[in-house]
Amino acid sequence: MANALWQVVAAYVLALVGGWVSTSLQLTHKTLCALISFAAGTLLGVTSFAILPESFGASSWWAVLLALATGYALFFFISKHVHHVCPACAASHFDADATRHFSEIASALIVALAIHSTTDGLALGIQQEAPTMDATKWSLFSALCIHKVPEGLALGSLLIGAGLHRSAALGWVAAVEATTLLGGVIGYFFLTNISTLWLGLIMAEVGGGFLYLAVHAVLGEMLKHGKRLVLTSFLLGVALIAVLNIGLRMVG
């Protein structure tokens, strides 16, 4: 339990660090773009090299693909009909007009991000007692921690741009990202005792959400920034998780 707790808390703290940096310093969007693209690459990497191989080993291929598609469709539906499910992955959409109308979108943003962050925590919590390899657990933890930093950065930047005071903006980041802790509790205490088949399908559905975030982040940033910066950062993120996952499997 201690291992599960510190990993979920670490992901939450890194989101707060991102929020603190964005509410204290002024980062260029080019820097944020590179971080977002790199984090998107890690999400694709952990889905490709960790989540899907484990899921295919626990469930039939068609069930895994169906769960993957369901996870992708869930985030697509939320982003289309509620709000962008991840402020980092949709950072290019948060322009001056969005910040001016923040009060109108605040509730939808909080709901969408709460669902997304709960999923992050769920993935970490469910992995701790699941019969998966250490390589999968550590690559998943690494990818989510890397993703949480630009997520906090983007959310904090949006709140500051909307006119919130620094302390209020950081408080909102802390409150919304706290759903990561909720997801970790749900995953660890309520889902780790189910069969490996269902664990594999749940992780495949989480992977579908990660796939949506990765694709949406890269496409969104490429529309407003140079393709070289976006693709280079993205591929570095994929490569990091691939090397980490393969290296840990060899050591194990």
Q: Is the pLDDT of residue 95 over 80?
A: no
Mean pLDDT, the chain, whole residue set: 84
Task: Report pLDDT for 98.
Answer: 54
Higher pLDDT, 224 or 66: 66
> For residue 223, how many other CB atoms are within 10 A of its CB?
11
| 225 confidence band (pLDDT: 50, 70, 90) | low
Q: How many helices (H) and strands (E) does the chain have?
A: 11, 0
Q: What stretch of H or E contains 98?
A: helix 96-100
Please state, in angstroms and rounded to a whole number, the distance separating the CA atoms of residues 78 and 85. 6
The answer for 84, left when phi > 0, alpha when psi is -120 to 50, beta otherwise, is beta
Counting residues of the chain whose pLDDT is more than 90, the rounded percentage is 40
What separation in angstroms does the CA of 54 have from each of 29, 43, 90, 164, 243?
36, 15, 29, 43, 17
Helix, strand and coil in the chain, % to nearest 5: 85, 0, 15
Task: Report pLDDT for 96.
Answer: 52
pLDDT digits (tens, 9 = 90+) for 15-58: 999 999 988 877 777 788 888 889 999 999 999 998 999 899 88
CB 50 within 8 Å of CB 136: yes
152 closest CA partner among 7, 3, 24, 4: 24
Task: Report pLDDT for 127.
Answer: 73
CB 152 within 8 Å of CB 173: yes
Task: Report which DSSP code applies to 85.
Answer: S
Task: Report pLDDT for 117.
Answer: 93
Give the 3-state secondary structure of residue 86.
coil
Arithmetic mean of pLDDT, 172-188? 92
Task: Report pLDDT for 102.
Answer: 63
pLDDT digits (tens, 9 = 90+) for 125-146: 887 655 555 677 888 899 999 9
| 88 confidence band (pLDDT: 50, 70, 90) | low
